[in-house]
Amino acid sequence: MAFFLNKEQVREQVKQRLKDNGYRVTSQRLAIVELLFDLEHPTADEIYQSLTSEFSNMSLATVYNTLHSLENIGTVRGFSCGEKCFRYELYQENHHHLICNECSKIVDIFLETCIDTAKVAEQTGFKNVTESVEFRGICAECADKLSAPAE
Ligand SMILES: [Zn+2]
Ligand SMILES: [Zn+2]
């Protein structure tokens, strides 16, 4: 996924947004942001597994709380990717997700017809409005496998 901001800029932006919104800047919060920069669409559990050695006192609940705070400041977007599937991503540019029905691969797609979230915010009084549209299909690799004759 192509980001407008590099990791250092994201760090600075998040620090500022945390302060502006009355949240403390903690190393755990920043570590989660950096991990989100490196991983595409991780689950909360994947984030937890990746950081548990670095932050031995971090619980899965802390990860969820942090993701929630980061959503509130408009840095993170959580989205559902099917039954019992919920993933997170660093949110910089509005985009949609195309999910493969077979292997659950998620591809970011950028369309010109994104909803004007600023307008939605203006009309409703909501803050940090994001939009999450899910497209589904079968990816090229899975389509190949499906069409191959059974052995
Ligand atoms: Zn697939
Ligand atoms: Zn995405």
Q: What is the pLDDT of residue 94?
A: 79
Residue 27: how many other CB atoms lie within 10 Å: 9
- Distance from the first to the final alpha carbon of the chain: 36
| Ligand 1: centre distance to CA 67 (Å) | 28
Mean pLDDT for the chain?
A: 90
Among 28, 3, 4, 24, smallest CA distance to 15 is for 24
Q: What is the pLDDT of residues 78-108, one digit of tens each?
A: 998 878 889 999 988 878 899 999 999 999 9
| Ligand 1: centre distance to CA 70 (Å) | 30
pTM: 0.83
| Ligand 2: centre distance to CA 89 (Å) | 6
| Ligand 2: centre distance to CA 56 (Å) | 29
Residue with the larger pLDDT of the pair 102 and 149: 102
- What is the average per-residue pLDDT within 26-42? 94
**Hey, what are 48's tokens?**
């937890």
Q: What is the pLDDT of residue 151?
A: 64
- What is the enclosing helix (H) or strand (E) of 76? strand 76-80
**Is the model's pLDDT at 137 over the cut of 90?**
yes
**Is the model's pLDDT at 3 over the cut of 80?**
no
Q: What is the pLDDT of residue 1?
A: 47
| Ligand 2: centre distance to CA 87 (Å) | 9
